[in-house]
Structure 1
Amino acid sequence: MKYRESAKDKKLRARFSEDLTRAALKQIVLTQGEFRGLNNLNIEFHYPITAIAGRNGAGKSTILALACCAFHNHDWGFKLPKRRNSYYTFSDFFVQNLAEASQKDTVIYYKIAHNNWKKSPTLPDGVGVGTQIRKKKKGGKWNDYDKRVNRTVVFLGIERIVPHSERSQSRSYSKVFKDGKPKGWEEKVKDIVGYILGKTYLGFRYLEHSKYTLPIVKTKDHIYSGFNMGAGENALFEIFSTIYSAGEGALLVMDEVELGLHADAQKKFIEKLKDVCLEMHTQIICTTHSREIFDCLPPDARFFVEVVGGKTKVMQGISSDFAFNKMGGSPEAELEIYLEDDVAKAILMAKLPSSVRVRSSFNVIGSATALARQLAAAYVRKEARPVLAVFDGDQISKAADNFAHAKNMAENPKPDFAEWFNARVCYLPGPTWPESWLLQKAGEVLPHLAATLGSEPEELAAAIEYAMQAGKHNEFFELSKHLGLSQELCLQYFASSITSEDLVGVQNLISSILAAQA
């Protein structure tokens, strides 16, 4: 189903957009050079939690490294126990052997929301979203590390899930760890981790020796340390302890954020990350291979990275279905159909004949703009397999805008681009978005649909009226409450109630495309 933005999401987004006191990272643009094959990068951040997915080798971890290197920090600033410096440099992430080719001329632009810029014509008050540039000549050094904006940055790699029983330093000091000084946030972390894992902890603290720490918890029946914790349990204590230790306004960068957590725990994990981001003004950028992580974040907080024709492509606002189908290497169908959301998919799946369904793949992309971008990417890739974008009915009035966006993304398209694009675009019936159209069509078959749902026509009519007032894309959430069914079931019933004649235009186009493949 389409993501429903909560009041918490809106509060997080508003603060991230408006707050100039925390040095929020707004954009990274790699205009020259490359890192581990990553090039031509342009990624913007509009929400305080960002998840990046992609196949292995696409450049996800490299983007995390570039984010870490955006900021400097005071010598007395927070740093992880085993780090020498309170900031990161490119040499922390990009190490080369003598046999490897040296880094070419490289230029990176960072846009940062800050309230202490040097006054300039573009920022006369020294307040706003400004740009810092990092440059490096081939064989030279990076410029002006110490002139970077100060901000606490913490990078947590996949080593966080290594059990203490497998960490040599923890094993070496297992008998000498002692109680450390309380930090003041232990109760918060205890309750957060307990909620995520469905456990009741009576106590949590860290034991310390030198620069090393060991978590220890108390439950109703046991006291046990990190030596006997599961990988996910230990990782959660480390993540949330680090967020509170780093202080307000930190940037937390994590590789494979879901490691060690089952699906339900991942959902609760993101829920609690949102709470802590609100409390601590934290910004989080992470990579993931998890559909659940994507589903728990607003569309513009999700990015998919791939390499097309040797160039890095970053797609924002795509659905988890689309991202993880691309990563999963599913068998290719004869026709790839792009859709805005699950409602559009349900309509097509309910009314297209099985002979069409089995030959097609239905990919929920996430928005009309994302559909246009994906068509442009198919054009650039010179896709041999046919593609078709089925826009919602309300996008007919915005056809010119969607075409212009696709053309802009297609990178110097040939004169035939308009013909190519228009041949691969169609629209769902009706002048409005599909949820609204489905509810309107339901009124034409109200007695039949009511009988199918085990409801009286008057009850169903009232439920539809409530749904129509719920707001765009919230209709089936509201309807499900009145009918006592899940959103998915409501959608299936309503999609099945329309007639095949309503989709004859879309079906004929799909059938003609498939016929050309025979």
Structure 2
Amino acid sequence: MEKIILDSVYFNKLKGLNNVNIKFSDTLTAIMGVNGSGKTTVIHALACLYQPDGNGENHKFPEFFVPNTDALWKGSNLNVVNKKAREKADRDPEVMASKCYCKKEDRWSPRYDTRPKRNVYYIGIDTCLPEIEKRNTNSRIMYKSSDLDDNLSRKIIETSAYILNKDYDKLVDNSYNKTHLTGVKLKTGLKYSSLSMGSGEQRVIKIIDVILRAEAYSLILIDEIDLLLHVSALNKLIERIYDIAKNKHIQVVFTTHSIEMLKLTKYVFIQYITNFNNNDNTLVYEKITPDLIYNMTGERSKTLTIYVEDELAKQIVKQIIKKNEMISTTDVITYGSIENAFTLAASFVISNDQELSNKLIVLDGDRYQDNKEKERQINKKLSGSEPSADDKRQKALGLITEFKLPEECAPEKFIHDLILTNLYDKSECKEIYNAANEIKSVLDSHEWINEICNRLDTSVSDIINSIFRYLYDDEKCKKYIKPIEDWVLNHKS
């Protein structure tokens, strides 16, 4: 069996996905986005990339992309990059040559028997349908039951019990009319089959059954993993899937609408798809925040919006708009990963946003300081060659600025140093100064501020609010915030 790992897929054109590269974790990847953005299209395509290597399913493009009056799928095209695990665990996987899948005329290419061998298992939303609703009968259903007591069955029922907080004792096989219905036996002795299960309960057992039975290096695809699950069960499901996937070298890709994923990034790699109607571009965000999702899917009443990387930057920008009496008109939104800044800028230009002049995207200032570096990042998002392409790229670049940091200095270290040099004699900030003075070394630059918060059991917001009344007029601080303050002042009516 080939030890294949999916690295990325570039969708040139497939259904509503256009010119977008989607990356995948070696373990869990969540495909997020609003309805109609292309989430399910992604996993339908992934199901067709491989031929089974043993017990896997053999899905083909016409199964999910059925030719019809409105869509023959001619012109569909995607490029797939796989990696091959090496024999020695300490060596990075070998990146394989890109493989193109397309439909030029009547047939998809390449031939299905030339696809890489890998076992794929697809769990669609039909698994949410209660088993009783699948049975077209009003007659009594009589089945024969037998407890399953092998190691794998015990693992399935133990894992499902943990996720659903149920007192399961045994997994049960119910044989009926040449079919098999999953059942459970509780420690109280009560037994019931999937005919009597709740939909969420039925689906969790199905998912755990599939992933535990799957061979190493399989690909598991799950549409709408959060359907019918309460938050606690979803969190436990993700946690257990991650552990199983990591131990068995299995990749799991699922779609979801659940904002809960933003709390589970230690387990899940997020790809958030934004699709623009009547446009040839789709964009994808990584490590997004609730603020950004709300901004993309809801409405804001404030006229100005400043986008920042993280909570520290957000609180500093809030001090700027507070100082300049712009709180009522300016919103501050975190966008997460710095790469999202360029995706965000591109999305505003692509969508022909009429309020570009009222938007500012702020980088922390410790990366992409050179304009050439920014241009390279924008070119990755706006790679077109149409006559208006250069104008679009310049508009996107014009939305981006950064805090002005000293060279090779993290923003958290910069603020930490300002505390030590400016607050040593300020009685109101004595506790903050003392906590900062005790921190001599950190493993992660964020800890220069986070550790102060931990020591004082307070928030970044409280720290910044306390210290900026003294730091605001400091010469170094004024230089640091100048690009943002200049923009705010230019928009002050």
Hey, what's the Cα distance between the residues in 2 that align with 1:169 and 1:295? 41
Q: Which amino acid aligns with 1:111?
A: V
1:220-259 aligned within 5 A: 222-259=190-227
What secondary structure is seen at the aligned counterpart in 2 of 1:271?
A: helix
Provide the alpha-carbon RMSD of the alignment.
3.4
Out of 285-294 and 401-410, give the one that drifted further. Answer: 401-410
Identity of paired residues, percent?
21
3-state SS of the aligned residue for 1:241?
helix
The yes-or-no answer on 1:95 pairing with 2:28 is: no
User: Are 1:217 and 1:224, in contact at CA under 8 Å, matched by a contact in 2?
Assistant: yes
Show the counterpart of 2:401: 426
Aligned to 1:473: 446
Report the CA distance shift for 1:170/1:212 in structure 2 as closer, same or farther (over 3 A): farther
Instruction: Compute the displacement of 1:402 (Å).
Output: 2.1
Matched length: 468
1:64 to 16, 26, 43: 43
Q: TM-score when scaled to structure 1?
A: 0.79
Q: Distance in 1 between matches of 2:427 and 2:184?
A: 57
From 340, 348, 367, the counterpart of 1:378? 348
Q: Confirm or deny: 8 A CA contact 1:470 1:478 kept in the other structure.
A: no
Structure-2 change in CA distance of 1:368 and 1:30 (3 Å): closer
Q: What are the ranges of 5 or more consecutive residues in structure 2 without an aligned counterpart? A: 87-92
Q: Deviations over 1:283-312 (max 9, x none)?
A: 011111111113312699211222234224
Unaligned runs of 5+ in 1: 1-19, 79-85, 117-125
Q: Which residue of 1 aligns with 2:90?
A: none
Q: Distance in 2 between matches of 1:135 and 1:375?
A: 30
**2:120 partner letter:** V
Q: In the alignment, is the contact (CA less than 8 A) between 2:308 and 2:363 conserved in 1? A: yes
Q: 1:436 aligns with which of 402, 406, 413?
A: 413
| Offset of residue 65 of structure 1 | 0.7
Question: Given the alignment, which residue of 351, 358, 373 partners 2:328?
Answer: 358
Q: For the residues of structure 2 that align with 1:114 and 1:228, how far apart are their CA atoms?
A: 43
Residue 505 in structure 1 maps to residue 482 in structure 2: yes
- Which residue does 2:243 correspond to in 1? 275
Matching residue's letter, 1:48: T
Q: Is contact 2:217-2:249 (8 Å) kept?
A: yes
Is the CA contact (8 Å cut-off) linking 2:262 and 2:290 kept in structure 1? no
The DSSP-based 3-state class of the residue aligned with 1:315 is: strand
Structure 1 partner of 2:4? 23
Q: How far apart are the structure 2 equivalents of 1:133 and 1:111?
A: 9
Residues in 2 aligned to 1:22 and 1:273: alpha-carbon distance in whole angstroms: 19
Cα distance between partner residues in 2 of 1:166 and 1:215? 16
**AA paired with 1:347?**
I
Residues 312-354 of structure 1: CA deviation (Å, up to 9, x unaligned): 4132424132552145322353223221122212322355229
Q: Distance in 1 between matches of 2:292 and 2:187?
A: 40
Q: State the match for 2:96 in structure 1.
A: 129
For the residues of structure 2 that align with 1:172 and 1:23, how far apart are their CA atoms?
47
> SS at the partner of 2:366?
helix
Code of the aligned partner of 1:482: R
> How has the CA–CA distance of structure 1 residues 128 and 304 changed in structure 2, closer, same or farther, with 3 Å as cutoff?
closer
C-alpha change, 1:373 and 1:36, in structure 2 (3 Å) is: closer
Contact kept? 2:292, 2:333, Cα under 8 Å: no
Distance 1:140 1:336, change over 3 A: same
In structure 2, do the counterparts of structure 1 residues 449 and 390 end up closer, same or farther at CA, with 3 Å as the change threshold? farther
1:298-447 correspondence runs (5 A): 301-308=269-276, 309-321=278-290, 324-331=293-300, 333-353=302-322, 355-385=325-355, 386-395=358-367, 397-410=369-382, 411-412=384-385, 420=395, 423-428=398-403, 430-431=405-406, 432-443=409-420, 444-445=422-423
Contact residue 305 and residue 312 of structure 1 kept, 8 A: no
Distance in 2 between residues matched to 1:90 and 1:449, nearest whole Å = 69
TM normalised by structure 2 equals: 0.83
- Shift in alpha-carbon separation, 1:191–1:138, aligned structure 2, 3 A: same
Question: Could you tell me how far apart the structure 2 residues matched to 1:291 and 1:233 are?
Answer: 21
The reply on whether 1:50 has 2:29 as its aligned counterpart is: yes
* Residue pair 2:368, 2:374 contacting (<8 A) in 1 also: no
- Secondary structure of the residue aligned to 1:353 is helix
Distance 2:114 2:158 in 1: 40
**CA shift at 1:72, angstroms?**
0.6
**Which residue identity is paired with 2:21?**
N
Counterpart CA distance in 2 for 1:170 and 1:357 is: 64
Q: Distance in 2 between matches of 1:414 and 1:291?
A: 34
- Tell me if structure 2 keeps the 8 A contact 1:21–1:113: no
3-state SS of 1:42 partner: strand
1:491 counterpart (456, 460, 463):
460
Alpha-carbon contact 1:338-1:363 (below 8 Å) kept: yes
User: Alignment partner of 2:272: what SS?
Assistant: strand
Distance change >3 Å, CA 166–CA 349, structure 1 → 2: farther
Contact 1:442 1:494 survives alignment (8 Å): no
Seen in structure 2, the aligned counterparts of structure 1 residues 456 and 446 have a Cα distance that, compared at 3 Å, is same
Q: Of Structure 1 and Structure 2, which has the larger fraction of its residues in helix?
A: 1
